[in-house]
Amino acid sequence: MKLADLAVLAGVSTATVSRALAGHSSVNAQTRARIQALAQEHDVRPNQLARNLRLKSTGAIGLVLPLGHARTQHLTDPFFLTLLGLLADLLVERGYDILLSRVIPDGDDWLDRLVDSGRIDGLLLVGQSDQGAVIERVSQRYAPLVVWGAYRADQNHLTIGSDNVAGGRLAGRRMIDQGRSRLMFVGDP
């Protein structure tokens, strides 16, 4: 059954059915409830792809891990799992779907392909790897781009993250101030 068939059953226009199923306030509450009940009874669901085309929105945010220099990094890393889980929860609460990708850049156009795919409304890159030049170039034309990572002078894109060098310096200074003299760093430099 299509929306037009549901409109005939409800005695309203197809546009009214579409607005009612979208929960639009322009349809009075009783009519909206009646149409929604008929839709449920007849297992009618709006076509999300058609809706997205009409609204010029995908309803999806891309979460991408660009692994340029760190090709062996895995999504199962506890840091990534925690970060991605929290981001996914927040995005879903705001009504977005998530497109998760682990990308091993194979040229300078990997990010262009992602943002031009038509599959996302915005992109969150978790890490920059060695892809700073590519990210900066694409951010000049694609504004809904946020990078989790270090801020770099004169960058165009929005960055969220911390200064790892300063953080390491503060941690080391604190240990030295507490009398520790044999410090060791374990991790990715």
The predicted-structure confidence for 59-101, as pLDDT tens digits, reads as follows 889 988 877 566 666 777 787 888 888 988 998 898 888 888 8
Asked if residue 130 belongs to a domain, the reply is yes
Asked if residue 184 belongs to a domain, the reply is no
Residue 38 is part of which domain span?
A: 3-46
pLDDT score of 169 more than 70? yes
Number of separate domains in the chain: 2
Q: 6 to each of 33, 39, 52, 63, 107, how far by Cα in Å?
A: 13, 7, 21, 37, 50
CATH number for 110: 3.40.50.2300
Written in H, E and C, the secondary structure of the chain is CCHHHHHHHHCCCHHHHHHHHCCCCCCCHHHHHHHHHHHHHCCCCCCHHHHHHHHCCCCEEEEEEECCCCCCCCCCCHHHHHHHHHHHHHHHHCCCEEEEEEECCCCCCHHHHHHCCCCCCEEEEECCCCCHHHHHHHHCCCCCEEEECCCCCCCCCEEECCCHHHHHHHHHHHHHHCCCCCCCCCCCC
Asked if residue 53 belongs to a domain, the reply is no
Q: Which of 21-30, 62-71, 141-150, 169-178 has the lowest mean pLDDT?
A: 62-71
Question: What is the pTM assigned to this prediction?
Answer: 0.64
The predicted-structure confidence for 116-131, as pLDDT tens digits, reads as follows 988 899 999 888 878 8
* pLDDT more than 70, % of the chain: 89
pLDDT score of 148 more than 70? yes
Same domain, 158 and 104: yes
Query: What does the pLDDT read at residue 141?
Result: 93
Same domain, 86 and 21: no
Dihedral-angle region of residue 11 (phi above 0 means left; psi in -120 to 50 means alpha; beta otherwise): left
Asked if residue 37 belongs to a domain, the reply is yes
pLDDT score of 189 more than 80? no
Same domain, 38 and 91: no
Query: What does the pLDDT read at residue 69?
Result: 62
The predicted-structure confidence for 129-139, as pLDDT tens digits, reads as follows 788 889 999 99
CB contact at 8 A, 64 and 120: no
The mean pLDDT value for 48-62 works out to 74
How far apart are alpha carbons 185 and 79 in whole angstroms? Answer: 17
CA 183 from chain centre, in angstroms, equals 38
